[in-house]
Amino acid sequence: MAYVLRARDLNLQREVAIKVMRTNLVQQSEFRARFLQEARAAANLSHPNIVTIHDFGQDGDRFFIVMEYVEGTDLKTLIHDQGRFPMNDALSYMMQICNGVGYAHRAGLVHCDLKPQNILVAEDGRVKITDFGIAVTLATVQPESTQDLVWGSPHYFAPEQIMGASPSPATDVYALGVVLFEMLTGRLPFEADDLMLLAELHSTVSPPSPLEFVPDLPPAIGQIILKVLSKEPAARYRTADQLGRVLATFIEQSVQFGETAQHAPSAIPVEADTVPVVAGPAPFRRVDYVAVVLGLLAFIAVGGLIPLWLWACMLYPSCPLLLR
């Protein structure tokens, strides 16, 4: 509903991006409200992995948002150009995405339109999330309400989103699962030219395991993605933060045991309040020699006081040791 221009802020002498609403939509109040909502929603978010909003304004019949300019490209273009990503690269990007989306969730916002096109990747590898045009404030969500008009991108829709149900952070988590699947395999879990068929696939058909397309992926990664792509929101990770912690646990375990991607932990690492973390050989615990030496010195010091006490006691006739 808008186009984006690269511009220069003459006052602050910096490059910016200006998002301008298309003139044919200006007269439609719903689109104007969405455009203003994007500016307000993102303006209240200050995070390294979210595009910063600098200003919002109107010039005649043109509405515009001034935002941070990101030198780089979007994640969809990278997937198109590179195909599937190495696992470490995909997890690095997803960890940053989870950081940004998790921050939005903690601020009470659900993005509702997460897709690679809305994820910018700077030249230095930093990830920036943009386009909060259909974001929903959790405080305004009515759990039992439904929507007749569904906004967003069908390839990344969560099943409840397709049904018009109220979104939740788990709705964003589903979209993140689709994005991670796409980065690791170079394709989407569900593909169809007909939008109704695509919606049915997301709603009723079990997603394929990414290992079907990339057999050398660790089984734990496949399990994590399948959990995230569960049809029921309650079966997924609750927030992007929780998904990020699970991925961090997987990475830590892989590094801890010195395992390659092909031999990484085979069981899904989850948080302690759900299921125990994947079992593995206990790491060797190094002996703290400093503590051992200090303990011995303390023992010697205390033990050396006993003869000194006995000698001092014997000097006095009232010493209980001299009494018969």
Q: Catalytic residue positions?
A: 113
Residues 45, 6, 25: CA angle, nearest 5 degrees? 75
Strands across the sheet containing 62-68: 2-9, 14-21, 62-68, 53-59
Q: How far apart are CA 75 and CA 98, in angstroms?
A: 14
Rounded to 5 degrees, φ, ψ at 21 are -70, 140
**Dist CA 85 CA 185 (whole Å):** 7
| CA dist., res. 147 & res. 165, Å (int) | 7
Q: Angle at Cα 107 formed by Cα 166 and Cα 145, nearest 5°?
A: 15
Query: What is the end-to-end Cα distance of the chain in Å, rounded?
Result: 105
Contact 1, 25 (CB under 8 A): yes
Of 90, 301, 106, the residue nearest 177 (C-alpha): 90
Task: Provide the sign of the torsion angle of the four alpha carbons 241, 246, 247, 251, taken in this order.
Answer: positive
Q: Measured on CA atoms in the order 211, 120, 153, 142, is the torsion positive or negative?
A: positive
Residue with tokens 């659900």: 110
* Residues contacting 78, CB < 8 A, separation 6+: 85, 116, 121
Which pair of tokens denotes residue 204?
């009723």
